[in-house]
Amino acid sequence: MAWRRPWCSKPALRRLCNTSNSTTSSSMPIATTDLGWRFDNSYARLPEGLFSRVGPTVVKEPGLVLFNPDLAEQLGLRTEGIDTSAIAQVLAGNALPVGSEPIAQAYAGHQFGHFTILGDGRAVLLGEQLTPAGERFDIQLKGSGTTPYSRRGDGRATLRAMLREYLMSEAMHHLRIPTSRSLAVVCTGQTVVREEYNDGAVLTRVAASHIRVGTFEYARHFRSVDELRALMEYSIQRHHPEAADAENPAIELLRSMMRGQIALIVHWMRVGFIHGVMNTDNMGLACETFDYGPCAFMNAYDPATVFSSIDTGGRYAFGNQPAIAHWNLSVLGGALLPLIHSNEDEAVALAQAVLDEFPALFRAAHLRMACAKLGIDAPRNGDATLVQELYDWMRAAHADHTNTFTALMENDAPTHAPFTDERFRIWHARWRERVGSVAAAMATARTLMRRTNPAVIPRNHMVEQALDAATHQHDLGPLQNMLAMLQEPYTTATIPEIYRMPPLDGDGGYRTFCGT
């Protein structure tokens, strides 16, 4: 792993590193409608070199497309009886909520392994909402206009991409996977030009925070050690409080992040999720999934599965996600070096010792997850082989990842293709022997399997059909139907077959796009 400090060679980007709060939101109107916002804005009290004060850009004709009442209630927002146009004005960025202090966060990142300067180029953080339960959530407007970090971009987002993030993030939430969520999608009444003309939109993203590995890279390479330390102490307090009293807080932060990321990636592998763009700026200190760009769910099992149009080399393929998480953590370790030890060689040795724990920790966590998918509560010798033999068969047979495990929950061995070949039947007999063939043992196993294996995921072809209907025919019905089906993904009885089956032709030629 490379610990050397990357260097930004472009003069314009070097100047950007020194850009502080050059644009303010003082001219933005304050919303007259009170939705119950309770902002604290603690990130805005960090050293000002880590962000810029900038407000959203007013849009032409905001209109509420989707709204998440359950999330609004969790946040402590009061929307009953309030006209949707007033909500749209705020969530489009045309009026600031009382108490908000909008900022754009500065960060850097390794994108496909290459270091670059980034920052919120099309988003502003309104502030941090304090909920009735005492939780703290970032409220971010995505697609809200240009900022000092826009890098010649228009700062806008397409309706299709924002609807996609709303759908995918809500699906992940109901799959019980840590994730950012979406409060609303608001259309802007303006056109956004990408490869074609698109309707514009703003997404209200709710996250535990937007602190990234890339935020630490930015602080390490372009700010002072004091600013880096302030960022670390803030991140520990907010997300990893167990590190605060450690003998070496920086090392304990790295270790805690590693454990959190392992748990997250294991969840992704459990449901066949492919993030698609695991750059260091998309790995958050809150250890939750966020930035739903070219993500997708795998149908036929294959570790080499890639859908992202920009991932031509397969760097972020399904099976590569653990290794990339490890690589990203090494970048975080490199950023923390000055805070780990004053002697760089000693700091490297300490960080390396933590990172060397990753492979064994991940293998153990992944085995526990895979065994749970098979109804095995406590792995023992031989179970890793049992799991791997099933995955090997699934890959060879092009078996559907989700439906393979739901089929195993049936009372008898599945008799339809692809479960009819001899290789699977031999494996199935071994699995039944391992779990226990008596009724009570199998019932216990299936209870665990039903908690672990979703019956429904956002099938790629169904996602595209719903987005086509919403953006081309202005019909939200298919999208809303999908959202309803995905609210109880572990319950098979109420899910129509159409949502559970992969496309007849597989995912051949299917591509996803980052949406920027």
Q: DSSP secondary structure string, 217-285?
A: HHHHHHS-HHHHHHHHHHHHHHH-GGGTTSSSHHHHHHHHHHHHHHHHHHHHHHHTEE-S---GGG-BT
At 448-490, the pLDDT tens digits run 999 999 999 999 999 999 999 999 999 999 999 999 999 999 9
- What DSSP assignment string belongs to 96-151? BPTT---EEE--EEEETTEEEE---SSEEEEEEEEPTTS-EEEEEEETB---TT-T
148 to each of 349, 386, 445, how far by Cα in Å? 37, 53, 54
Beta bridge partners of 206: 139, 181
Residue 516's pLDDT band (cuts 50, 70, 90): low
Q: Is the pLDDT of residue 3 over 60?
A: no
Strand blocks (E) in 442-489: none
Smallest Cα–Cα separation from 92: which of 63, 121, 128? 63
Q: Which two tokens stand for residue 205?
A: 């993203």
Find the angle CA(502)-CA(506)-CA(510) to the nearest 5 degrees.
Answer: 110
Model pLDDT, residue 494:
74
Q: Is the pLDDT of residue 10 over 60?
A: no
Phi, psi of 165 (to 5 degrees): -65, -40
Model pLDDT, residue 25:
56
Residue 437's pLDDT band (cuts 50, 70, 90): confident
At 295-353, the pLDDT tens digits run 999 999 999 999 999 999 999 999 999 999 999 999 999 999 999 999 999 999 999 99
Are the CB atoms for 460 and 306 separated by under 8 Å?
no
Residue 383: active-site member: no
Residue 15's pLDDT band (cuts 50, 70, 90): very low
Q: Is the pLDDT of residue 194 over 60?
A: yes
Share of the chain above pLDDT 70, in %: 94
Q: Which two tokens stand for residue 465?
A: 């059909």
Residue 131's pLDDT band (cuts 50, 70, 90): very high
At 86-106, the pLDDT tens digits run 999 999 999 999 999 999 999
The mean pLDDT of the chain is 92
Model pLDDT, residue 17:
38
Rg (CA), the chain: 23
Q: Which two tokens stand for residue 315?
A: 């760097």
Q: Is the pLDDT of residue 6 over 80?
A: no
- b/e per residue, 109-121, with b = 16+ CB within 10 A? bbbeeebbbbbbb
Q: Is the pLDDT of residue 16 over 60?
A: no
Contact partners, residue 432, CB within 8 Å, separation at least 6: 413, 442
Residue 173's pLDDT band (cuts 50, 70, 90): very high
- The SS3 of residue 65 is strand
Residue 506's pLDDT band (cuts 50, 70, 90): confident
Model pLDDT, residue 11:
38
- The SS3 of residue 51 is strand
Residue range 252-279: average pLDDT?
A: 98
Query: Looking at 11-25, 259-273, 281-295, which range is the least confident one?
Result: 11-25
Helix (H) / strand (E) element for 299: namely none
Share of the chain above pLDDT 90, in %: 84
Model pLDDT, residue 26:
55
CA distance 152 to 73: 38
In the set 120, 138, 281, 311, the catalytic residue is 281
Model pLDDT, residue 196:
84
Report pTM.
Answer: 0.93
At 372-430, the pLDDT tens digits run 999 999 999 999 999 999 999 999 999 999 999 999 988 778 888 899 999 999 999 99
Q: Which two tokens stand for residue 9?
A: 């060679």
Residue 19's pLDDT band (cuts 50, 70, 90): very low
Q: Is the pLDDT of residue 9 over 90?
A: no
Are the CB atoms for 305 and 298 separated by under 8 Å?
yes
